[in-house]
Chain A
Amino acid sequence: MAANLQRGRLTPLGWAGLTFAALLMVAPLLWALLLSLKNNAELVGHSGAALHPPYTLENYAAIFGNSLTLRWLLNSAIVALGQTAGVLILASLAGYAFARLEFPLRRTLFAIVLLGLAVPSQAVILPQHQLFAWLHLHNSYPGLILPGLVAPFGVFFMTTYMRGIPRELDEAAMLDGASRWTVFWKIIVPLTIPAQSTLAVFTFLGAWNDYWWPLISATKSNMYTLTVGLAAAQMNYAQTSGLGYLMAQAVFASIPIFIVYIIFQKQIVRAMAGAAVR
């Protein structure tokens, strides 16, 4: 209904503007896709060759020809899903505690969590690397997943979202005999699904695209994530004479992200709209 009202108010000029903006947004993606379907030698001379046939899948075949590509894909999936699940669990629990429970030093602890937002990951990379070396966790899944579980933004986000849920719901459930855990699990968590979806997408994206930590923690080929593996597979100087292959890598790496967006599109929009109204 709201969407229909919005649509009704758009003038032809507005439509044209939106269409132009959409094309502008999608143009680089289409350009990358077209380049990925071209022979590298053809592109060395003129990248405009991407605009006309012949097209080829040889760059994608080269990606799959590397025996480790599927292993890197699996590693990325394990790391990204592991981090996403971990962040959702930890951020929801912490968010509920900060939003609903009274305990000593609650405000101070929350302030400390917020301070975590101001600390760039580069600032702690050396001690973090040393710690993981000491724990013998490099070149392992825990070594790749654990640093991503420190998610102050997730805690802040879930705390803020849960504070917006009326306390009367908790009180009514407790009057009916529900325990604190039941209230959290049966009442609060279902109400935060839109926020969880948003946080999940952001966390998954961050983990999937992460390059810096996997680069220095996963130093053996079989433990590379897709970002590091694809970078290592590049053959010539800055891949300057392999533009098609480079773009095929980019397209290939972005496909899972694209799928995540499509699946969670409704939840993301709903969560954003909810946040805006609130």
Chain B
Amino acid sequence: MKRAAAALLALLALGSCARADHRTRLYLQRFFGECGAEYGRSTDTANAEGECGIITALVNRFNAENPDIHIDVNVVAWPGYPQLTAQVAARDPPDLVTMHEGVISDYALKGLLEPVDHYLKQAGISTNDFTDASRAGVTINGHPYGLPWDTHGGLFHVNTALFAKAGLMRGGKPVLPNSPEELIAQSRQFQARTGKPYLIQSNVGDPAFAARNLYTYMMAQGAVLFPDAHHITLNTPIGVRVATFFRRINAEKLGTQNMDTPAAIAAFVSGEGGIYPTGTWMIGSFQQEAMTAGRPLYRSYAVFPYPRLWGQHVEFVSGHSWVVPTHKRTPAQRAAITRFFKFMAAHNYDWARTGHIPAFKSVLDDPRFKALPHRDDIAPLASIGRPLPSNVQRQNAIEGIVGEEGAAASTGQKPIARALADAERRVNDLLGGVE
């Protein structure tokens, strides 16, 4: 018995011996899902598909091309911030994290993220090569706090077959409105000729939809949404004008009613409406439908930034970025982060195949990018895109509140002035508690 126990202990001791690993290890945390079954060993970035496939292949390729570095990947449930906050609180943050640009201020203003000027300089990346939207998205108090990775925002996804039936195609392209009145007129024409709603709307359980509409068209009219870092201003003549416009669309039934996101997506791919205003991330799925014979969207899909209805042509956007949480690191780890930034910047085109807008001007001008479907049409988002001010914290939570009250206003659940006032009060209460 004693011999058996000794043998077992010896085996356990031997089993615990591992080959010495002299590689520099970085701990990367990201969302975008887990697809190890399909891309677990792939380094073929050119043929990977979808956000998950491309990011998995990119990290695999980085590991393969940098044998002295190894990146351990931790995939978190979207969006991953509760986990990151918990890791920061436990003083065990990752080395690299995917972060929405609107969230950077929450961490950076508390000193929880490193400014990345040094890494960018070492990697030979100039912030001048960032697109306007990307630079604004990662810059706080004059310093970049992340490597921008893309710009994403709302787009008008168009069913061109229905647009043709409605007589709203010119030169093979959909005619999009240039004013609120034009949009209403086109909606009526569309509805009269196709019998279907002009807009497909996800007004239920999708606060981002209503918030995007309100932010975009208030910004277009020169509204200052945040006069300072602790206050929002929505209940203004401009805010009321925008909300009244979307209320009118609903009152006249020019858009679908009571749909959540999956219902709206299903309606669009089933050819149940003309335009579905949703994000860049749906381009891949809709393009797939457009290439599948027999589907309602077959050869009938186009996509554009939100049209200019008032004032300037600008649009509310956000973006993904790579940030470095503040933590004690060795010089070798810092050098590895620099190499990772350089690698990722060099492969921004691969990521742009997801449908997101590239973060680098050079990729926007890259013929490979221009040759991708619809990219010429949506590329202006990189220059017309406007994030919220970088000194405003809690942008995710604010979007939830503004979207909820905005949807209540546009669907008639609340009088417009009350909904906007409620949104202001709730956001200001939230920001009042932020240091």
Contact = CB atoms under 8 A, between A and B. Distances in A.
B175 interface: no
B269 A219 contact: no
B51 A68 contact: no
Given A45-B269, A215-B77, A233 B279 contact: no
Contacts of A221: 73-75
A236 B87 contact: no
A46 B85 CA distance: 38
B237 interface: no
Nearest to A139: B92
Contacts of B86: 129, 138, 215-217, 219
B78 A234 contact: yes
A220 interface: yes
A130 interface: yes
A65 B56 CA distance: 15
Interface in A226-276: 228, 231-238, 240-241, 243
Given A130-B89, A219-B87, A237-B279, A243 B77 contact: no
Given A240-B265, A243-B262, A67 B32 contact: no
Given A65-B37, A133-B89, A238 B261 contact: yes
A23 interface: no
A46 to B, nearest CB: 6
A233 B75 contact: yes
A62 B261 CA distance: 24
B91 A133 contact: yes
A193 interface: no
B34 interface: yes
A70 interface: no
Interface in A195-211: none
Given A45-B295, A62-B37, A133-B89, A234 B266 contact: no
A220 B75 CA distance: 8
A117 to B, nearest CB: 26
Interface residues of A, number: 33
B282 to A, nearest CB: 8
Interface size class of B (residues with CB under 8 A): 35 or more
A130 B270 CA distance: 50
Interface in B260-288: 261-262, 265-266, 269-270, 279, 281-282, 285, 288
Contacts of B31: 232
Contacts of B89: 129-130, 133
Interface in B45-83: 50-52, 73-78, 82-83
A215 B36 CA distance: 21
Contacts of B73: 221
A220 B74 contact: yes
A150 B40 CA distance: 40
A71 to B, nearest CB: 12
Contacts of B82: 215-216
B384 to A, nearest CB: 22
A219 B83 contact: yes
A44 interface: yes
B279 A68 contact: no
B50 A234 contact: no
Given A129-B90, A130-B89, A138-B92, A219 B74 contact: yes
B366 interface: no
A220 B33 CA distance: 14
B51, B75, B296: residue with the most chain A Cβ atoms closer than 10 Å: B75
Contacts of B40: 67
A236 B281 contact: yes
B38 interface: yes
B269 to A, nearest CB: 5
A231 B40 CA distance: 18
Contacts of B38: 65
23 contacts: A44-B285, A45-B295, A65-B37, A65-B38, A66-B34, A66-B37, A68-B34, A129-B90, A138-B86, A219-B76, A219-B83, A219-B87, A221-B73, A221-B75, A232-B31, A232-B77, A235-B50, A235-B51, A235-B52, A236-B285, A237-B282, A238-B261, A241-B285
Interface of B: 31-38, 40, 50-52, 73-78, 82-83, 85-87, 89-92, 261-262, 265-266, 269-270, 279, 281-282, 285, 288-289, 295-296
Given A46-B270, A232-B33, A233-B33, 13 more contacts: A44-B266, A44-B285, A46-B266, A62-B37, A138-B86, A138-B92, A215-B86, A233-B34, A235-B34, A235-B51, A236-B33, A236-B50, A237-B261
Interface of A: 41, 44-47, 62, 65-68, 129-130, 132-133, 138, 215-217, 219-221, 228, 231-238, 240-241, 243
